[in-house]
Structure 1
Amino acid sequence: MVVLYWDVLLNQNWDYPQKIMAETGEIKGHYLNATAGTCEEMIKRAVFARELGVPIVMHDYLTGGFTANTTLAHYCRDNGLLLHIHRAMHAVIDRQKNHGMHFRVLAKALRMSGGDHIHSGIQ
């Protein structure tokens, strides 16, 4: 079985957005997903992203947790990175008719935990 590691995959694909920008003259971006099983690994990924010159780091705040989100938010703020929040798993919480909470509540909790902006999608 071949195991592909996060940093290897990113290194293999990082030139692609640069190539497309050069060809089209348009600005392209990549939200590097720093979500990981531990805060230590998440910060390693954010450090790696910063070293590559990535301006935006992404975090799945519901799967990663609010404490992890705040930890990453502090690192990003201290190091000039923008923290984009992805909403993976939100439908389990906010699309149930008989239980759960409204997405606006989740979005406000995200802001309190340090996210800069959120992928809200279409509902």
Structure 2
Amino acid sequence: MPALTEIFGDDSVLQFGGGTLGHPWGNAPGAVANRVALEACVKARNEGRDLAQEGNEIIREAFKWNSELAAACEVWKEIVFNFAAMDVLDK
């Protein structure tokens, strides 16, 4: 979420299908978790914080006061996006 906020800014539509629907408490708590995380990132950016460097800490601070986000972070903590691009130009 911090990277998306930094890259796309305010003029964007972010879709969180699987993360929302996969929340252990259901869809509505998943939506709350996404909203809280996004608002924490926007607030941090507006305060001049470096989202690239402080992103994880920003989310950790937010989940201390929001149980929906804390539950989502517990479920998704092991997820790593480490893959090569599938759509590459032919040489």
By the TM > 0.5 criterion, same fold? no
More helix by share: 2
Larger Rg: 1
More strand by share: 1
